[in-house]
């Protein structure tokens, strides 16, 4: 029918329940007479019903723990003044500090998380002073030392060697991103948006 | 300025003692340093936002990262919230902006195609369901097809379709969230619906 094109908009208002009674009656009448519009109407109603009834997903169980960890990392950074002096910190210093914190949190958390995992962990549960002082020439502890020194390298390794808590790693590198963002002189592209 | 709010919100709370606090009450409490109120906000919004962002960016893993980032921003920018706006509008705006940034970044880097990537993931999930009753498998596949078609819409149609037809927000709120006039929101929703019904009608006929 020729008037169908302009009628479509009215059909959508009808679907959304935005039409006054008189106009509603016109729509019903047209739908009864016009197979094309009536097909569109039926399809849209069905699709809309499907969309409303899509299965909902839920955040993973450690969502809030990860969030709290990230917030306390930020708070400890800002307490040290990192977050309040945007221009002065070179990007490597900020990421270095962050990397260390990140390593600390990851090692602690994933150790807890993976404690019943069969994969052997090469990672010390906490940093004890002996690990820092006695590792020099011992081949066995060298690995540990490297892990402490270059946590970001490890973060970027896909299928990482000793930690498989990839989500927390991603979250932590996201935090690294946000630190880069507040260090504008770094050549890394700013992330995030204004709102 | 804080004190001013303090007295009014307290009297409001005692007036409605058994009602659960509004979002706006919670963010105000959080602005005054109540971290428990922030926890409540997270509990209230985490799944709702996840579903919005998941349908918008297509991947559950990335959606969860974006929702994390959304709450971090609420945390950092809590002082920027003013009571004149609904809290839900504010937090949806943040999540929507982050999602759009992610989509743009993805497009720029062209690391992978959204739909292709999502598809592979999903093929995997579907095959996991092989031992379940047939109608469940069919439901899962159908859901995946719909998810894929939502993803095939261009972002500006996709976002409003999710907000309107999946999350059932009002046109007025959507208009505030994405900051375009109501008329534009409506015409985007309608065009999105038309596209979707065109692409999914073969599926609907089977039902
Ligand atoms: Zn017609």
pLDDT of residue B32: 96
Alpha-carbon distances, residue A100 vs A89, A127, A152, A153 (angstroms): 16, 11, 9, 12
Both B35 and B113 in a single domain? yes
Both B140 and B113 in a single domain? no
Angle, CA A18 vertex, CA B47 and CA B86 arms, to 5°: 40
Expressed in angstroms and rounded, the spacing between residue A27 Cα and the centre of ligand 1 is: 9
Q: Residue B128: inside a domain, yes or no?
A: no
Question: Each residue of A126-185: pLDDT tens digit?
Answer: 333 333 333 333 343 333 333 333 333 333 333 333 333 556 666 656 555 554 444 433
Both B23 and B116 in a single domain? yes
- Of A75-84, A113-122, A163-172, B173-182, give the lowest mean pLDDT range: A113-122
For residues B55 and B166, the answer to whether their CB atoms sit within 8 Å is: yes
- Give the end-to-end CA distance of chain A in Å, rounded to a whole number: 46
Where do the structural domains in chain A lie, given as residue ranges? 2-52, 63-114, 129-190
Both B24 and B57 in a single domain? yes
**Which residue, chain included where needed, has tokens 């059932």?**
B168
Q: Looking at the predicted structure, is the pLDDT value of residue A25 above 70? A: yes
CATH number of B25's domain: 1.10.1740.10
pLDDT of residue A121: 37
B59 CA: distance to closest CA in chain A (Å): 11
Q: What is the mean predicted confidence (pLDDT) over B163-183?
A: 97
- Work out the percent of chain B whose per-residue pLDDT is above 70: 77
For residues A22 and B183, the answer to whether their CB atoms sit within 8 Å is: no
CATH number of B155's domain: 1.10.10.10
Chain A positions touching B198 (Cβ under 8 A) are 43
Paired tokens of B195:
């596209």
Report CB contact under 8 Å: B146, A50: yes
What is d(CA B102, CA B94) in angstroms, rounded to the nearest whole number? Answer: 12
Both B55 and B146 in a single domain? no
Least CA distance to B80: which residue of chain A?
A: A195
Q: What is the DSSP track for A127-170?
A: --HHHHHS-TT-HHHHHHHHHHH-HHHHHHSTT-SS---HHHHH
- Give the end-to-end CA distance of chain B in Å, rounded to a whole number: 58
- Work out the percent of chain B whose per-residue pLDDT is above 90: 68
Expressed in angstroms and rounded, the spacing between residue A9 Cα and the centre of ligand 1 is: 11
* Range B106-135 burial, b when 16+ CB lie within 10 A, else e: beeeeeeebeeebbeebeeeeeeeeeeeee
B205 — pLDDT class (breaks 50, 70, 90)? low
pLDDT of residue A5: 81
Q: Looking at the predicted structure, is the pLDDT value of residue B87 above 90? A: yes
Chain A positions touching B193 (Cβ under 8 A) are 12, 44, 47-48
Q: What is the mean predicted confidence (pLDDT) over A53-60?
A: 95
pLDDT of residue B202: 85
Q: Looking at the predicted structure, is the pLDDT value of residue A123 above 50? A: no
What is d(CA B10, CA B176) in angstroms, rounded to the nearest whole number? Answer: 28
Which domain covers residue B46, as residue numbers?
Answer: 18-122
What is d(CA A50, CA A45) in angstroms, rounded to the nearest whole number? Answer: 9
**For chain B, what percentages of helix, strand and coil (3-state, to nearest 5) are there?**
80, 0, 20
pLDDT of residue A127: 37
Both B94 and B36 in a single domain? yes
Paired tokens of B43:
């509990």
* Total number of domains in chain B: 2
Q: Which residues surround ligand 1, an ion (CB under 5 A)?
A: A 1, 4, 34, 37
Instruction: Count, in order, helices (H) and strands (E) of chain A.
Output: 9, 0
- Whole-prediction pTM value? 0.65
- Top residue of A4, A7, A67 to mutate, by most chain B CBs within 10 Å, is A67
Both B110 and B161 in a single domain? no
What is d(CA B140, CA B8) in angstroms, rounded to the nearest whole number? Answer: 50
Question: Each residue of A59-74: pLDDT tens digit?
Answer: 999 999 999 999 999 8
Q: Would you give the DSSP letter of residue B167? A: S
3-state secondary structure of B58: coil
Q: Residue B200: inside a domain, yes or no?
A: yes
A6 — pLDDT class (breaks 50, 70, 90)? confident
For residues B61 and A167, the answer to whether their CB atoms sit within 8 Å is: yes
B72 — pLDDT class (breaks 50, 70, 90)? very high
Paired tokens of A41:
């109407």
pLDDT of residue A109: 55
pLDDT of residue B67: 98
Q: Residue B72: inside a domain, yes or no?
A: yes
- Top residue of B69, B96, B192 to mutate, by most chain A CBs within 10 Å, is B69
A117 — pLDDT class (breaks 50, 70, 90)? very low
- For residues B182, B185, B186 and B189, what is the CA-based torsion angle, rounded to 10 degrees? -160
Pairwise pLDDT comparison (B47 vs A186), residue with the higher score: B47
Q: Looking at the predicted structure, is the pLDDT value of residue A50 above 60? A: yes
Expressed in angstroms and rounded, the spacing between residue A28 Cα and the centre of ligand 1 is: 11
Alpha-carbon distances, residue B18 vs B12, B21, B22, B29, B43 (angstroms): 12, 9, 12, 17, 19
Chain A positions touching B190 (Cβ under 8 A) are 8-9, 12
């Amino acid at each position: 029918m020729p008037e169908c094109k302009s009628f479509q908009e009215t059909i959508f208002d009808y679907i959304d329940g935005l039409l006054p009674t008189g106009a509603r009656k016109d729509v019903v009448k047209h739908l009864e007479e016009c197979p094309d519009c009536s097909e569109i109407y039926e399809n849209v109603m069905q699709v809309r019903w499907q969309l409303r009834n899509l299965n909902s997903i839920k955040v993973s169980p450690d969502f809030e723990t990860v969030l709290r960890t990230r917030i306390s990392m930020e708070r400890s950074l800002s307490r040290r003044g990192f977050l309040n002096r945007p221009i002065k910190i070179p990007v490597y210093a900020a990421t270095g500090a962050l990397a260390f914190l990140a390593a600390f949190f990851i090692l602690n958390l994933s150790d807890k998380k993976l404690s019943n995992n069969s994969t052997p962990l090469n990672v010390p549960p906490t940093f004890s002073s002996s690990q820092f002082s006695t590792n020099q020439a011992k081949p066995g502890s060298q690995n540990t030392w490297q892990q402490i020194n270059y946590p970001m390298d490890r973060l970027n390794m896909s299928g990482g060697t000793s930690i498989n808590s990839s989500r927390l790693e991603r979250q932590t590198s996201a935090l690294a991103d946000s630190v880069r963002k507040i260090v504008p002189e770094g050549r890394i592209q700013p992330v995030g948006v204004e709102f | 300025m804080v004190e001013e709010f303090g007295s009014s919100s307290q009297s409001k709370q005692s007036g409605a003692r058994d009602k659960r606090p509004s979002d706006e009450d919670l963010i105000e409490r959080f602005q005054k340093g109540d971290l428990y109120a922030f926890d409540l906000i997270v509990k209230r919004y985490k799944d709702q936002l996840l579903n919005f962002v998941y349908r918008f960016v297509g991947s559950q893993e990335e959606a969860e990262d974006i929702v994390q980032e959304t709450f971090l921003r609420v945390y950092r920018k809590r002082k920027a919230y003013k009571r004149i706006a609904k809290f839900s509008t504010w937090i949806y705006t943040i999540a929507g902006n982050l999602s759009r940034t992610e989509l743009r970044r993805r497009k720029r880097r062209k690391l992978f195609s959204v739909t292709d990537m999502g598809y592979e993931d999903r093929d995997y999930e579907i095959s996991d369901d092989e031992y379940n009753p047939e109608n469940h498998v069919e439901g899962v596949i159908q859901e995946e097809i719909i998810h894929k078609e939502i993803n095939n819409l261009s972002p500006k149609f996709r976002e409003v379709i999710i907000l309107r037809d999946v999350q059932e927000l009002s046109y007025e709120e959507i208009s505030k969230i994405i900051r375009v006039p109501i008329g534009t929101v409506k015409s985007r929703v309608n065009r999105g619906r038309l596209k979707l019904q065109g692409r999914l009608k073969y599926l609907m006929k089977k039902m």
